Amino acid sequence: MRLRMVGLAVLVMAAAGCGGVGSDPGGEIRVSAAASLTDAFASIEQAYEDAHPGTDVVLNLAASSSLREQILEGAPVDVFASANLLNMQVVADAGMVVGEPAVFAGNTLQIAVPPGNPGGVSGLADLSREELLVGLCAAGVPCGDFAREALALAGVEAAVDTDEPNVRALLTKVIEGELDAGIVYTTDVAAAGSVVEGIAVPAGHNVAAEYPIAVLAGAPDPVGAEAFVAFVLGAEGRAILAGHGFTLP
Amino acid sequence: MVLGLLGLAVFVVPLAGLLARVPWARLPALLGGDVVTDALRLSAVTSLAAVAISAVLGIPLAWLLARVEFPGKRVVRAVVMLPLVLPPVVGGSALLFALGRRGLVGEALGDATGLVLPFSTLGVVVAATFVAMPFLVLTVEGGLRSMDRRFEGAAATLGAGRWTVLRRVTLPMVAPSLVAGVVLTWARAFGEFGATITFAGNLQGRTQTLPLAVFVALETDRDTAVAISLVMVAVSLIVLAALRDRWWGAR
């Protein structure tokens, strides 16, 4: 008897949950995009909504690895734009992607330092200095994996003080001056403007990030999703991405 | 009764979801990993330190709120309660702006003592104290308010000094509130996440407590994340159940 009541309670909860998730909201496209796309996709959202009145693009911005987990756990998402191929591949391998993911942008790494460069950082080798406060993205987050690749290529063992959950969280701590240096994307430094300085990572040690985008198999609005992806891959999307400092495939 | 069970389901369903994912066979190996043991040690140390600081500072503050009349008391009480309603990430940002290397107080503190709180274990303790101490202040204040003050008066009449009254009468009488406050404070400090990752960062062995380890592992190694979550559930249940039997069992 008791068990049956609990079962009933569970059923009621499940039914209540379905109402919110399954229904198709009028013209809403849910886009899960990597944190490093924050500014570029805000511009793309604006341009898309201007071109398609009545459509509402909803951005969910986080580390690609967080977005991947949300999608794998069944979050209602129409489009996934990842900051690396790996996270997209995991979603595709789970059979949750429609067609082939398309690479729509590329990025490189820079060392972000607070204005005036108080730590006197001039290259990757400085990140091994114990007296500096150095941050990376956590391992598993694309910017964290790329940063570790670059450090390995340069043969530098970084004295890391914090593994931040996503690139924007890392950048914020550099902007606030709490960290002396952090490895972020070139586009993040450009987006932040004068509140951080970027120090180039030489081409031999740099790692080129590739951003794939795809419509998800469980998309609540597959038509809108296709249209949005086409927009990002099209002339207007490319122009916006280039304007934010991304390289184009 | 249906609503009551529905209420229970709110707690039980997520727990069941977690238990369903536990990789039982690999559990010992996962829990023996250094990420888990480092985080467990750090969580134990920082949550207990936060409780200790909360007791030292929070009990006098509770006494102030319960026994001393002063203008603006409502505002003071609201400020004390603020961390209860504030999203922890906001609290963490506030701590960063106040106690960070470039912060309002933090810059002077660093210049004077060389102490840098962000990205240090001490920073984790500060974050945990900030979010958890209100529980201690509010429960102890409630205890002080509801106790019968005539006992204190009687003791004083019988010649007991202020210190003796506090030690022999007041503290024993508010002991149940104090214990409840300590348990709630510890529980909040043990589970603290948002203020910690915002203010103290995330580094294994230095600032990565169990909740942070779960968060990071969730994106890289889900089995480890589930295993750590299980540890947190177990530790919390054991502590809450043990304390309840010991102090509130009679009720």
ipTM: 0.83
Selecting from A10, A69, A160 the residue whose C-beta is nearest the C-beta of B219 gives: A69
Confidence of residue B246 (pLDDT cuts 50, 70, 90): low
Domain A28-105+210-243 has CATH 3.40.190.10: yes
pLDDT for B240 equals 81
Dihedral angle, C-alpha B114, A198, A68, B14, nearest 10 °: 20
User: For A135, which residue in chain B has the nearest alpha carbon?
Assistant: B201
Q: What is the pLDDT of residue A8?
A: 43
Q: Over range B1-16, report the average pLDDT.
A: 92
B220 Cα to chain A: minimum distance (Å): 5
pLDDT at site B220 = 81
Confidence check: pLDDT of A20 > 80: no
Contact B202 A164 (CB under 8 A): yes
Minimal CA separation from A64 to chain B, in Å: 9
Helix (H) or strand (E) holding A168: helix A167-175
- pLDDT for the residue B241: 83
Q: What pTM, to 2 d.p., does this model score?
A: 0.83
pLDDT attached to residue B242: 76
* Residue A9 banded pLDDT, cuts 50, 70, 90: very low
The model's confidence at residue A4, banded by pLDDT at 50, 70 and 90, is: very low
CB of A137 within 8 A of CB of A63? Answer: yes
CA atoms of B244 and A200, how far apart (whole Å): 58
Of B2, B5, B216, which has the smallest distance from its Cβ to A163's Cβ?
B216
Superfamily of domain A109-200: Periplasmic binding protein-like II (3.40.190.10)
Could you tell me where the DSSP H helices lie in chain B? 2-20, 27-32, 34-67, 73-85, 88-99, 106-113, 121-146, 150-157, 162-165, 171-191, 194-199, 210-220, 222-243
Q: For chain B, what is the mean pLDDT?
A: 91
Contact A9 B9 (CB under 8 A): yes
> Which A-chain residues 65-94 have CB contacts (< 8 A) with chain B?
65-66, 68-69
CB contact under 8 Å between A163 and B202, yes or no, is yes
Chain A residue numbers touching B204 (CB-CB < 8 A): 163
Flag if A141 and B116 touch (Cβ within 8 Å): no
**Between these two residues, B243 and B87, which has the higher pLDDT value?**
B87
Q: Which residue has the tokens 């911005």?
A: A61
Task: Give residue A25's pLDDT.
Answer: 44
A16-25, A27-36, A198-207, B55-64: least confident range: A16-25
Which residues of chain B make contact with A164, given a CB cutoff of 8 A? 201-202
Q: Closest approach of chain A CAs to the CA of B26, in angstroms?
A: 21
Output the pLDDT for position B137: 96
pLDDT of residue B247: 59
Determine what percent of chain A is predicted with pLDDT higher than 90. Answer: 84
- Res B161: pLDDT: 87
Q: Is the pLDDT score of A17 beyond 60? A: no
**In contact, A88 and A212? CB cutoff 8 Å:** yes
Residue A24 has pLDDT above 50, yes or no: no
Query: Best of A167, A170, A178 to disrupt the B interface by mutation (most B CBs within 10 Å)?
Result: A178
pLDDT tens profile A127-137: 999 999 999 99
Spell out which residues of chain B touch residue A65, defining contact as CB-CB under 8 Å: 219-220
Write down the pLDDT at residue B245.
Answer: 63
- Best mutation target among A68, A161, A174, A179 (most B Cβ atoms within 10 Å) is A161
Contact A140 B220 (CB under 8 A): yes
CB contact under 8 A, B5 and A13: no
Nearest CA-CA partner of A205 in A127, A104, A138, A92: A127
Is residue B205 scored above 50 in pLDDT? Answer: yes
Neighbours of B71 (CB within 10 A): 7
The pLDDT score that the predictor gives to residue A6 is 43
Q: Please check whether the two domains, A28-105+210-243 and A109-200, share a CATH topology.
A: yes
Task: Supply the pLDDT for residue A198.
Answer: 96
| pLDDT score recorded for residue B248 | 54
Scan residues 158-187 of B and list those with Cβ closer than 8 Å to A. none
Neighbouring C-alpha atoms within 13 Å toward the C-beta of B94: 14
Average pLDDT over residues B120-142: 96
The alpha-carbon gap from A226 to the nearest alpha carbon of chain B, in Å, equals 27
Rounded Cα gap, residues B94 and B98, in angstroms: 6
The residue ranking higher by pLDDT, A21 or B31, is B31
Q: How is residue A221 written in tokens?
A: 């609005």
Give the DSSP H/E element, type plus range, for residue A207.
Answer: none
**pLDDT grade for B114, boundaries at 50, 70 and 90:** confident
A66–B219 C-beta distance less than 8 A: yes
pLDDT digits 0-9 by tens, B63-108: 999 999 999 999 999 999 999 999 999 999 999 999 999 899 999 9
Distance from the Cα of A108 to chain B's closest Cα (Å) equals 23
List domains and CATH numbers for chain B: 34-248 (1.10.3720.10)
Q: Which residue of B has its CA nearest to A86?
A: B220
The percentage of chain B sitting over the pLDDT mark of 70, rounded to a whole number, equals 97
Q: Which residues does B184 contact at the CB level (< 8 Å), separation at least 6?
A: B132, B135, B136, B139
Summarize pLDDT for A86-138 with one digit per residue, the tens.
999 999 999 999 999 999 999 999 999 999 999 999 999 999 999 999 999 99
Is A168 in the B-facing interface, judged by CB distances under 8 Å? no
pLDDT band at A62 (very low <50, low <70, confident <90, very high): very high
Q: Using the predicted structure, report yes or no on whether residue A235 has a pLDDT greater than 80.
A: yes
Chain B residues close to A12, C-beta within 8 Å: 6
Interface list for A 9-48 with B (CB within 8 A): 9-10, 12-13
Q: Which residues of B touch A70 (CB under 8 A)?
A: none
Taking 50 as the threshold, does the pLDDT of residue B170 lie above it?
yes
Domain-by-domain residue ranges, chain A?
Answer: 28-105+210-243, 109-200
